[in-house]
A and B are shown apart, each in its own frame.
Chain A
Amino acid sequence: MSNERHVHVSLRGVTKIFRGAGGTPPVHALGPIDLDLRRGEFFAVVGPSGCGKSTLLEVLAGLSEVTEGEVRFEGKPIHGEIMDGVGVVFQEDACFPWMNIYDNIAFGLRQTSITATEIEGRVKRALSMMGLTPFAQSYPAQLSGGMRQRVCIARTLVLQPRLILLDEPFGALDQQTRLLMGEELLRLWRETGATIFLITHALDEAAMLADRIGVMSARPGRLLEIVETGWARDRDSRIVETDEFGRITARLWQWLRGESMKSIDQSSTAA
Chain B
Amino acid sequence: MRDEILVDIQHLSKLYPVETGFFTRTNLFVHAVSDLNLQIYRGESVGLVGESGCGKTTTGKLLVRLIDPTEGKIAFHAEDGVVDVATLRGKALKRFRRNVQMIFQDPYESLNPRMTIYDTVAEPLDVQGIGTLPEREERVAELLETVGLTPASSFMFRYPHELSGGQRQRVAIARALVVEPTFVVADEPTSMLDVSVRTGVMQLMQELADKLGVTYLYITHDLAVARYMCQRIAVMYLGKMVELAETEELLHHPQHPYTRALLSAVPVPDPTYKRKPMEIKGGISKPINPPPRCRFYERCPIADDFCRDNDHPPLEDKGGNHFVACYKV
- Indicate whether A and B interact: no
Q: Which residues of A contact B (CB under 8 A)?
A: none
Q: Which residues of B contact A (CB under 8 A)?
A: none
